[in-house]
Amino acid sequence: MERKREYCHLTMARRANLYLLNYAGENKSQIAKELSCHRSTIYRELKRNSCRDNAGKVKYFPNDAQQKAFKRRQRGLKLQRNVDLKAAIIEKLQAGWSPEMIAGRLKREHGVTVISHECIYAYIYDERARDERLYIHLRRKRR
């Protein structure tokens, strides 16, 4: 009976080993055993964090993979990280749009949900954004 492997994030060292084993042509199941993680973790890692080189071939580079994984795990409000999106939303709020209308319009324009109305409200009522006094542009001007 095979022992159950515990879930863990891949570290930079594991990503470097994954790169070497994958480059050597090892089987994904064998790579998973070497790194003592589940086979689906290897498939998922290669799918999420690979990129195309100049020739158009899909390649896996551990440094790029580490940066992509780190970027996905960033915490905080989306509007504090994305300055262009923040400016567009503030402009629409000042024009009298509700957060629901803004989220709906962005979804229609981009085809996918860019930001939810809850995220917009969270930013408006966030302590760091109180200096901007965006709540006065809402219908119920609640602080």
pLDDT digits (tens, 9 = 90+) for 79-124: 777 888 888 998 999 999 999 999 999 999 888 778 899 988 888 8
What is the H or E stretch that residue 43 is in?
helix 39-49
Residue with token string 């930013």: 123
Q: pTM of the entire structure? A: 0.54
Distance CA 47, CA 41 (A): 10
pLDDT of 3 over the 70 cut: no
pLDDT digits 0-9 by tens, 44-55: 999 988 887 787
pLDDT bucket at 32, cuts 50 / 70 / 90:
very high
Which residues pair with residue 51 across a beta bridge? Answer: 59
Position with higher pLDDT, 82 vs 41: 41
Torsion of CA 72, 74, 75, 79, to 10 degrees: -80
Nearest to 29 by CA among 15, 39, 14, 17: 39
Average pLDDT, the chain: 84
In CATH, what is the architecture of 12-72?
A: Orthogonal Bundle (1.10)
Listed by start position, the domains of the chain span: 12-72, 78-137
